[in-house]
Amino acid sequence: MTINVNETVETIKELVQINSPSGFADPAIEYCKKIAESLNYDTSVTHKGGLLIEVPGKNDDQQRLITAHVDTLGAIVKDIKEDGRLQLDLIGGFSWNAIEGEYCTVTTQSGKEITGTICLHETSVHVYKNTSKIPRDAEHMEVRIDEKTFNPEDTRALGIEIGDAVSFDPRFIHTESGFVKSRHLDDKASVAMILQFLKYLKEENVELPHTTKFYISNNEEIGYGANSNISEKVVEFIAFDMGALGDGQASDEYTVSICVKDGSGPYHVGLRNHFVELCKENDINYKLDIYPYYASDASAALSAGADIRHGLFGAGIESSHALERTHEDSILESEKLLRAYCLSNINS
């Protein structure tokens, strides 16, 4: 049951470099689909664009569904300003200050990509007084595109229009000390771990005790990723997502985080206890935690009316929805729990 964390990190690197804000995640979904099909798994793409991967198991009557999301935070062109720069509207829940100064890419309707920088309009301290006091908001933040444009007509001539996607440079780095730094580790780290697990099952010819469906979600950041297309045979629904770090949190960058409760309410206590027992039995380092301002595709599935036991675990991610970071240790412990859980029996 050896886990090659470096392979997982390489997959994370490939995934975070694919631009896929919510609403524009098709390229990342296609990446995952190609890998799953190369391993001869049955796949299907839902009408709203999510990817379902089915892994047959010994018991087909009691199934599991494990979801991770490939969509990310991003922005959309709201308007083209009089000087040709772009006004933005945010996609997902994050603060403007988290993207100030960030390099970005505008993807036009035709697929053309144009680079730029997200900046405060009044950035220059040599021109504007008290720039530090100016609000970072939709009125003052803009995209300075890397083209000669002086008015809306110049910008539109490039193919840029209202509704085009704006993606943030991930700035991926894997340090010698084992840290993985990048935007969009939420939740492409989990997706990469699932893809590695699927590879392991094929290479080792492992049969799961229960048929398990892996749902790669494309709209989680806006609240409705994997809350549909759930078979009535699914008994347990797991959101394989990030653990939130900060003051008052137990989670860290070196263990797998098991969510007890988030902003939607408590997770299924029996399932949570099962995770804990698996960690103890398999020497998996874990932390139990509450994420106060958080919801997942598992809680969204419950809100949609699914009759399931829901759970949530994943790698601890520092500075979520900004310049994120985790460590190889957390990736390893999370992969270990994913394997242990999928290879265990459902407790009726």
Give the separation between CA 312 and CA 292, rounded to whole angstroms.
14
Q: Which two tokens stand for residue 187?
A: 């939740």
Q: What is the pLDDT of residue 1?
A: 58
Give the separation between CA 157 and CA 161, rounded to whole angstroms.
9
Write out the H or E segment, with its range, that includes residue 99: none
Residue 119 has pLDDT above 70, yes or no: yes
Residue 250 has pLDDT above 70, yes or no: yes
Q: What is the pLDDT of residue 348?
A: 64
Task: Write out pLDDT tens, residues 78-108.
Answer: 999 999 999 999 999 999 999 999 999 999 9
Residue 221 has pLDDT above 70, yes or no: yes
Per DSSP, helices labelled H in the chain are 5-16, 26-38, 152-157, 185-203, 269-281, 297-303, 328-342
Among the listed residues 30, 82, 122, 220, the single catalytic one is 220
- Give me the chain's average pLDDT, please: 96
The proportion of the chain whose per-residue pLDDT surpasses 90, expressed as a percent, equals: 96
Q: How many residues does the chain have?
A: 348
* Burial category of 207 from C-beta neighbours within 10 Å (exposed 0-12, middle 13-18, buried 19 and up): exposed
One-letter amino acid at 165 equals A
Q: What is the pLDDT of residue 2?
A: 85
pTM: 0.96
Reference 298, options 333, 263, 338; nearest CA is 263
Q: What is the pLDDT of residue 224?
A: 87
318 is catalytic: no
- Helix, strand, coil tally for the chain in percent (to 5): 25, 30, 40
For the chain, list the domains and their CATH numbers. 5-72+184-342 (3.40.630.10), 74-168 (2.40.30.40)
